[in-house]
Amino acid sequence: MFDEACGLNPVDHRTAAVGHPDCSRPRIPGLDALDENLVTGRDPGNRTLSSRTSGAPHPMSPTPTLVVVAHPDRDASRVTAHLAEAVRDLAHVTVHDIVAAYPDGRIDVPREQQLLRDHDVIVWQFPWHWYAAPGVLKSWIDQVLTFGFAYGSDGIALREKTLQIVTSTGGPAASYTSEGFNLFTMTELMAPFRATARLTGMHLADPLVLHGARTVSDEDLALHAKHYRELLSS
């Protein structure tokens, strides 16, 4: 089963310039449009929250933005497809569905790397699978973010860009706590993204997460999509 929504706890979004021993980077000034306590749906006994953690916000002015959509079965997806369509018509946004682009899984690495060079904000939009990104996005990362391009002494192509995580899980926020069903917080589970941003020299913006996607109403999904559009428009 695909998992499309989740709980979120504040994440430390500090990233580091590659090669700098102090591993520090200033926070990005920006958006205050989203409230981490916004209710967008309900599961029995639990509030379902749409949240953006407090921390490094998204840049204030619209910049060239690449939305990498990664869903193993997007045609069967309600949330991922709806969110992608919500931002597709923005003039500065390129929506790039990697499953549709590469149905056989054979990724055109030079093409993908050029897309990354051409955009200043990189969005990874995906459903939360097994406490991480789905395999299609992991495979894309493994093949595209190569040594000499994304990291290493000459791998500076992504440095100073912004990485924005947009995800969803089926479970409610309450399940992502040390006392909840999953035992781990989203702060802990998103550590690989913080490490990736640090290694590549990208700023990690506050993740945008939809909780309880399996039960979210059409009205609340539309509201979440509106916040997503505002986030990428700011």
pTM for the full predicted model: 0.73
CA distance 220 to 117: 35
Q: Which residues pair with 129 in a beta bridge?
A: 132
Reduced to 3 states (helix: H, G, I; strand: E, B; else coil), residue 47 is strand
For residue 84, what pLDDT is reported? Answer: 93
What string of pLDDT tens digits covers the 234 residues of the chain?
444 433 333 333 333 333 333 333 333 333 233 333 322 333 333 434 444 444 454 445 579 999 999 998 877 888 999 999 999 999 999 999 999 999 998 999 999 999 999 999 999 999 988 888 999 999 999 999 999 999 999 999 999 999 999 999 888 777 877 887 877 888 888 899 999 999 999 999 989 998 887 888 899 999 999 999 999 998
For residue 172, what pLDDT is reported? Answer: 75
List the structure tokens of 154.
């000459």
